Amino acid sequence: MMQPFTTLTAVAAPIDLPDIDTDRIIPARFLRKPRGAPGYADFLFHDVRFDAAGAEQPDFVLNRAPYRAAGILVTAENFGCGSSREMAVWALDARGIRAVIAPSLGDIFHQNCFKNGLLPVILPAAIVADLR
């Protein structure tokens, strides 16, 4: 379960792809795993973070320093769109992500963030682009 916070100082990882849906955040084959299962953090962006053999993809942002330690994602528009998978927020939590900054978020994802203690921040697109 996520812990409340009043101030967050963390590395912010830029993710420049728009329309990242919940299936890309956590692929469907991992949805039956219970929250907190060993290795749950590895489910986050699994199909772009790892190759077919399970090795890290070196060009994925969360596999590179300093973003391995990211506590914030700064994303393009419509992050978390698609199906209503609360597990997408769980995977972010398991990986240590505490906040997502974007010009827009999927409606249900936005609600699930609040429900699970992840801070969703919606800012104008130009400001988010400058942050990325």
pLDDT in tens, 65-76: 999 999 999 999
Q: What is the pLDDT of residue 2?
A: 60
Q: What is the pLDDT of residue 1?
A: 58
Residue 15, burial from CB neighbour count under 10 angstroms (0-12, 13-18, 19+): buried
pLDDT over 90 at 85, yes or no: no
* C-beta atoms surrounding 96 within 10 Å: 15
- Specify whether domain 11-131 bears CATH 3.40.50.1240: no
What average pLDDT is seen over the chain?
92
Q: Is the pTM of this model over 0.85?
A: yes
